Structure 1
């Protein structure tokens, strides 16, 4: 998973962002499970997934705050 630019994330639709957030949360759950059972081979995926999720959540939060204002 390559690091994405914040502008690339901002160009996504709200539905795409929500879908990607759900997918990343499922992936994080799976990665945590693999780490707990010592099956996780690529440990860097855990950090990359958390960073990507944080980017998406930030953009989603920005959009929600702009609707309220």
Structure 2
């Protein structure tokens, strides 16, 4: 997910995407603890996507 894609989203869409990714991150943490995670790079990707979403969200809030 790129920042340009996030900037065209509405405020609610950004919040929903953050919640969705946090749930996926939670599930991946459990899979990692039990040794069942298949794609370890996905953990890093999700963490960075959440950071991107939060950054754009704070930029939009500061602009108003």
TM bucket (normalised to shorter chain) is: over 0.9
Aligned residues: 64
1:27, 1:65 → 2: CA distance? 28
Q: Does 1:45 align with 2:42?
A: yes
User: 4+ residue stretches of structure 1 with deviation over 4 A?
Assistant: none
Structure 2: runs of 5+ lacking an equivalent: none
Match of 1:14 in 2: 11
Match of 1:27 in 2: 24
CA RMSD of aligned residues (A): 0.8
Structure 1: runs of 5+ lacking an equivalent: none
1:14-50, CA deviations, whole angstroms, 9 ceiling, x for partnerless residues?
A: 0100000000011110010100111101101101111
Tell me the TM-score normalised to structure 1 length: 0.86
Match of 2:56 in 1: 59
